Structure 1
């Protein structure tokens, strides 16, 4: 047997092995969508089929019925956010891991304190059981916090007539490590938002409140 025939047989064996591995991965996934193992096995089967088809064409001018293109294994890993050899559970091979930190500040004017307190009281009443008395809301800060809690922390819960938005900003920074909430006291409102010495500010977006046309003209 010539070397080229041996290489062709080996290429076919790799197709068969990859097909079996792909079937095993499909069975193990049990219908899960976007399963990592199925995707990786698919890439291996695709590339083995492509290589066999190319060798068959080069040696005998014949082709298979498989119309496939080669897939870059590294790009396949990125498809699921895996590092090289991601199937074995290894950590990504990126030597320079980064964390992106997004910080936002938005200020509001309170046209009517009493109206805001009433709205927050209503939101609290709807959120607690009828047999519990959470007590009245006594400050503007408590009122805004209650609205945020009722809206699951989303700033969209503050888009109410009782609050007039003022200027705000968003910053995006690259930082070496993520936020550790346990490192700050509950009363510390500045520490978690203070950039670290090694943080790199990528940029900031300035927010200006939308004004109706009549206000802009004035």
Structure 2
């Protein structure tokens, strides 16, 4: 893939001032790249196959340009670590271990300014990069700012689970839960109809509902 094709592929996916940098990351260490359909379980991934000499990175098509760029660099960091330590992967080199964190920080550093990210995203992103997590979804404050730029603006007016007070009731996928307590990046919730407990992401988009026991007047 040449530069023109790369720029055409990414021109509407990442901020304009990040286009050339994204191409340079591929040019330095090439990889197969695919923009995929939306996947609820992940934003992107790095795929290693022993039978392939060129490894593959995929990213969901429906991410806003700032989330797409962060995810792109996140996965390129995986590729760089694999290229450097492929004989040790799984033997002291963890998927999101210190080697990946260092690579991610190094690759993201040139992008951490207001010519690429708006200030409301840049501030929590800089904090996030101090000790990056396996997923930006685990960083409540960063995700809260990123979702402002989602293509589906309706999601921004809906609350996140992390925004609700303890013991609040909410609807998720047509099921009603009560928020019990926060456990790091997830929340222990109880389904009202069954009494069963579930761990749900802090960043889940939910619909707040009245306490089922409330009596309207």
Identify the TM-score tier after normalising by the shorter chain.
under 0.3
Hey, which of these two has a bigger chunk of helix by percent? 1
Structure number with greater CO (CA < 8 Å, separation at least 6) is 1
Hey, which of these two has a bigger chunk of strand by percent? 2
| TM-score normalised over the length of structure 2 | 0.22
Structure exhibiting the larger radius of gyration computed from Cα positions: 1
